[in-house]
Amino acid sequence: MTKKISLLGATGSIGIQTLDIIESNPDKFTLVSFSAGMNIDGVREIASKHQPQTVSLIRREDAERLQTEFPAIRFVHGEEGLVEVAAHTNADVLVNAVIGSVGLKPTLEAIRAGITIAIANKETLVAAGDIVMAEARKYGVPLLPVDSEHSALFQALNGENPKRISRLILTASGGSFRDLSREELSAVTVEQALAHPNWSMGNKLTIDSATMMNKGLEVIEAHHLFGMPYDQIDCLLHKESIIHSMVEFEDTSVMAQLGSPDMRVPIQYALTYPDRIPMQNAKPLRLEDIGKLHFEKMDLVRFKALGLAYAAGREGGTMPTAMNAANEVAVALFMAGRIPFIQIEDMIERVMDAHRTSSVPDLETILEVDSLARKMVYAMVE
């Protein structure tokens, strides 16, 4: 049976790779709706090729213009448009590949519509993980991880007794500046930060990888996805990105998922779960060609952002929301050339220090904290 796919963030890195999987397997997947940002030429190409039922864009004028070009497709816009695409009544699976907490409301609406979620938007779980997971349990909707690390944990845990887990071990490449000292980070450029040594990702994800905040967000995401206390979630520096994550059990056995660095693999697994299908144009892993794998203990003094994420996660409530919002704005300011790289962490820490945590927030409180944290970061530079 062909699965009907809705896709948020179709012109981003994960979105493009999701489309590659859909196009490589036309007998298995159909794109019924998608959202995109400002890449209108990309939207035209996707719309022409897939002829979806609904497309959402950021700007009203873009939606109106394309509506005249593609009269058979419904074009919507804004936050309401994102929700309409996410909760598309014909969809079997929503791939949430947008960047930032903008993915929160569409995810909740898709869950309430009973649509399986393939979650690549980690900020949704960081900002409101307790609410999202509670809704998923209430409606019986599975959240299938797309991040390579969480997909690895998900696969390693398949069929295992969760009560026998000793710890989860997330691996980290170390990002663009993994071999630099903190003193050397003060003069790095945006172009240097975007040169990830292993993975092809979107700009925001690549900057987060360079600060190691990406790994911090993944720690919080793992806490929610797998119900694991933070003291049982570790990170390990692994520069080759071959082991994507590991699970250690009470008997000291360790289950690891390995593969060449290719995001299409975890994306496809989320789309085909619980089945597997051949991966088109993929590079098989040949350990004899790699020869050696290297591992180092994670230094939370060197990678300060990871330590901030652990602190936010342990405090819980609205603290991860504030941290995530501050990070999103600080990263945008760095990419715009308005602050130095090293100041990203400082801004996040200042917001966390000033934040008064609400322990059991509702969605309205989450959104208010998100907005206030963003305003605070902008005020720092103004």
What is the pLDDT, as a whole number, of residue 197? 67
Instruction: Summarize pLDDT for 167-196 with one digit per residue, the tens.
Output: 999 999 988 788 888 888 888 888 888 876
**Residue 199 belongs to some domain of the structure:** yes
The 10 Å CB-count burial string (b at 16+, else e) for 237-259 is bbbbbbbbbbbbbeeeeebbbeb
Average pLDDT, the chain: 95
Residue 100: predicted pLDDT: 84
Domain shared by 259 and 222, yes or no: yes
Residue 341 Ramachandran class (φ > 0 left, ψ -120 to 50 alpha, else beta): alpha
Same domain, 290 and 321: no
Establish if 269 belongs to a structural domain: no
The answer on 81 and 179 residing in a single domain is no
Pairing of strands 3-8, 165-172: unpaired
pLDDT in tens, 35-57: 999 999 999 999 999 999 999 99
Q: Which of 79, 108, 141 is the last residue of a domain?
A: 141
CATH number at residue 19: 3.40.50.720
Q: If DSSP codes are grouped into helix, strand and coil, which group holds residue 242?
A: coil
Whether residue 117 sits in one domain with residue 64: yes
Question: How sure is the predictor about 69, in pLDDT bands with cuts at 50, 70 and 90?
Answer: very high
Asked, for residue 279, whether it belongs to a domain, the answer is no
In this structure, the answer to whether residues 227 and 310 fall within a common structural domain is yes
Q: What confidence score (pLDDT) does residue 356 get?
A: 97
Where among 103, 123, 141 does a domain terminate?
A: 141
E strand or H helix at 314: helix 304-315
Q: Bigger pLDDT: 166 or 178?
A: 166
Domain boundary residue, one of 141, 165, 194? 141
pLDDT in tens, 322-334: 999 999 999 999 9
pLDDT at 196: 65
Report which residue type is found at 195. A
Question: Within this chain, do residues 323 and 301 fall inside the same structural domain, yes or no?
Answer: no
How is the beta sheet containing 74-77 ordered, strand by strand? 74-77, 54-57, 29-35, 3-8, 93-96, 116-119, 143-145
Judged against a pLDDT cut of 90, whether residue 88 lies above it is answered with no
For residues 180 and 310, the model is more confident at 310
The per-residue pLDDT for 219 is: 98
Q: pLDDT category, 223, cuts 50, 70, 90? A: very high
- The answer to whether residues 41 and 85 belong to one domain is yes
Looking at the fold, whether 310 and 185 belong to one and the same domain comes out as yes
CB 194 within 8 A of CB 103: no
According to the model, what pLDDT value does residue 359 have?
96
Q: CB-hemisphere CA count at 13 Å for 97?
A: 30
Domain assignment of residue 372, yes or no: yes
Per the structure, the complete domain to which residue 31 belongs is given by 3-141
Q: pLDDT > 90: what percent of the chain?
A: 86
- Give CA–CA dist 193/171, Å, rounded: 20
pLDDT digits (tens, 9 = 90+) for 258-290: 999 999 999 999 999 999 999 988 889 999 999
Torsion-angle region of 255 (φ positive above 0: left; ψ -120 to 50: alpha; else: beta): beta
Residue 194 within any structural domain of the chain:
yes
Q: What percent of the chain has pLDDT over 70?
A: 98
- Is residue 91, in this structure, part of any structural domain at all? yes
pLDDT tens digit sequence for 338-375: 999 999 999 999 999 999 999 999 999 999 999 999 99
129 shares its domain with 152? no
Q: What is the DSSP letter of 198?
A: S
Angle of helix 264-272 relative to helix 13-24, nearest 10 degrees? 60
Q: How many domains does the chain have?
A: 3
Cis peptide before 162 (omega within 30 of 0): no
Strands across the sheet containing 233-237: 254-258, 243-249, 165-172, 233-237, 296-297
Least confident of 97-111, 197-211, 214-228, 316-330: 197-211
**Strand ranges, E, within the chain:** 3-8, 29-35, 54-57, 74-77, 93-96, 116-119, 143-145, 165-172, 233-237, 243-249, 254-258, 296-297
Note whether residue 277 is domain-resident.
no
3-state SS, one letter per residue, for 112-181: HCCCEEEECCHHHHHHHHHHHHHHHHHHCCCEEECCHHHHHHHHHCCCCCHHHEEEEEEEECCCCCCCCC
Residue 195 belongs to some domain of the structure: yes
The verdict on 356 and 304 lying in the same domain is: no
| Amino acid letter for position 12 | G
**102 or 138, which is more confident:** 138
Q: What is the CATH number of the domain that holds 375?
A: 1.10.1740.10
* Same domain assignment for residues 333 and 296: no
Residue-wise pLDDT for 343-352, tens only, equals 999 999 999 9
Q: How does 92-129 read in b/e, with b if 16+ C-beta sit within 10 Å?
A: bbbbbbbbbbbbbbbbbbbbebebbbbbbbbbbbbbbb
Using DSSP's 3-state secondary structure scheme, residue 294 falls into coil
- What pLDDT, on a 0 to 100 scale, did the predictor assign at position 150? 98
Structure tokens at 13: 């890195």
- Asked whether residue 89 carries a pLDDT value surpassing 90, the answer given is no
Tell me, yes or no, whether 42 and 104 share the same domain. Answer: yes
Say how many residues make up the chain. Answer: 382
Tell me the whole-structure pTM to 2 decimals: 0.94
